[in-house]
Amino acid sequence: MERYLDRYFKDRHALLDELNGFVGTFNVWRQSKRYTPDIQIFTMAELNKLCLQNATGSGKTLLMHANLLQFRRHAGCQAVRNTPRIVAHPE
């Protein structure tokens, strides 16, 4: 999360290019295994969405608080305008 936020707030275009480069490589691997369908490339509008999945008892609440603090630090003055929305999905 820390690395993602750093890249997101410093150079979103480079982050997007790197992610999509990986998607291309990953899709070549998937095709070699005959997996379908391919993973679609990311758009700039999708970069502000993350999904973190953790097992039961793994400390999700603690991680959420740490991630909020990381977001606020990286967002700087943008944090007030871009307050994250947290969606907790019960199992």
Per-residue confidence (pLDDT) for residue 79, from 0 to 100: 52
The residues, any chain, with a CB within 8 Å of residue 31's CB and separated by 6 or more, are 38
- The share of the chain scoring above pLDDT 70, in percent, equals 84
- pLDDT < 70 positions in the chain: 77-91
pTM: 0.68
Q: Which pLDDT score, from 0 to 100, does residue 31 have?
A: 94
pLDDT at 87: 62
> Residue 61 has what pLDDT?
83
Taking the C-alpha atoms of residue 75 and residue 8, their distance in angstroms, rounded to an integer, is 9
CA of residue 87 relative to chain centroid, distance: 14
Position 77 scores a pLDDT of: 57
